[in-house]
Amino acid sequence: MESLALHRDYWERRPMGMPLVSFHIGDTLVSRQFTAARGLLQDGLRISAEMIVVEDFLPDYERMWRDSQETGQNGIFTAEPFTGVPWMEAILGCDVIGSASALLTVPCMSTVDQLRKVRIKEDDLWLEKYLEFTRKLVKLSAGRFPVGQPIMRGPSDVVGALVGQSNMILFMADYPDQMRRVFQKVAEIFRAIIELQQREVPTYCGGASIGFYHLWTPGKCIWFQEDLSALCSPDYYSRFLREADWSICRGYHYTLVHLHPSSFFILDHLFGIDELKAIEINKDVGGPGVQQMLPIMARIQEKRNLVVWGELSSEDVDIILDGLPDRRVALSVLSSSTESAAALMGHVLAKAAGRRR
């Protein structure tokens, strides 16, 4: 109940004595956090929906749930259909190919006309597998933890996967009206798939949860990303993607967008989407550090809820909590072990206790 109260304070944008903290334990490559995925992570292996055996993954979720309890996190562990699968791309027709580190896709379209006809096929095996995964996670949970949405990309990422990233940008230049409609259609398909999933998921403590970030919400929620916005100019984002992103958020009380530092230039446009409640930023390997990103964090926190994801050290945590006065932030931390996660959580608790004194 204390954790739920802290989540409510976070979403109501009230000052918090301590941040929300959740952990991902294990490999920084999320697919490799799942023992059941090891047989799929083979270079060049063509993956079909039938090869994803949900029952094989369930022990991984049990382990992850137990790990979350051992860390002492105040985030709400959330199970989501195996986030290593590029679900949206697969559902819309891309082949899924294994590699040593992740499941990848290859473009399946080459023209704007093909993009204009993109749709969910009847009895699509990948969509059936996604919903099967959801139902079996709900059964596994038995009310112990919520079930949420995995990484499902966003309009630019999906279109870039369908036709290739270079083609996407060229088509935006050559066929602007058609491409605006394509992005909007992809956003509508995105929403339709999430709504199908949500029909299978009961509420958790009267609310829902943003999968992958382990953020409980007092009402229904949705989240998305626009990684390929990094290939656009601010003008292109505004002309082609902003309306599609807005349409994903409409009707949802709690919404989040995932953002890499390479896309910080679209922040002003995101602030213009009234229904967008939270912005998550990555501490990327090889990217700017927490100290460098602190002004951006403060700017986001002034206007929206802030989530920070990545391998965060105790020094990183100190910079964030000292630099954001009301500590209204959610930290989604990659950690090598439950022991190191518990130690960092202890550091957060000690810092919060020190402030109260």
Q: Assess whether pLDDT exceeds 60 at residue 189.
A: yes
Query: To the nearest whole percent, how much of the chain has pLDDT over 90?
Result: 91
pLDDT, tens digit (0-9, with 9 covering 90-100), for 61-102: 999 999 999 999 999 999 999 999 999 999 999 999 999 999
- Identify residue 293 by its one-letter amino acid code: M
The pLDDT of residue 313: 95
pLDDT, tens digit (0-9, with 9 covering 90-100), for 203-261: 999 999 999 999 999 999 999 999 999 999 999 999 999 999 999 999 999 999 999 99
Distance of alpha carbon 22 from alpha carbon 75, whole angstroms: 5
Q: Are 339 and 72 in contact (CB under 8 A)?
A: no
Q: Assess whether pLDDT exceeds 90 at residue 327.
A: no
pLDDT, tens digit (0-9, with 9 covering 90-100), for 130-166: 999 999 999 999 999 999 999 999 999 999 999 999 9
Residue numbers of the domain that contains 159: 2-356
Q: How many domains does the chain have?
A: 1
For 109-132, give one letter per residue: b (16+ CB within 10 A) or e: beebeebeebeeeeebebbebbbe
pLDDT, tens digit (0-9, with 9 covering 90-100), for 261-278: 999 999 999 999 999 999
Q: Domain of 152: which CATH number?
A: 3.20.20.210
Distance of alpha carbon 319 from alpha carbon 176, whole angstroms: 43
Please tell me whether residue 335 adopts helix, strand or coil conformation: strand
What's the predicted TM-score (pTM) here? 0.95
Map tokens 């391998």 to a residue.
Answer: 311
Mean pLDDT, the chain, whole residue set: 95
Which pLDDT band, with edges at 50, 70 and 90, does 48 fall under? very high
Which pLDDT band, with edges at 50, 70 and 90, does 355 fall under? low
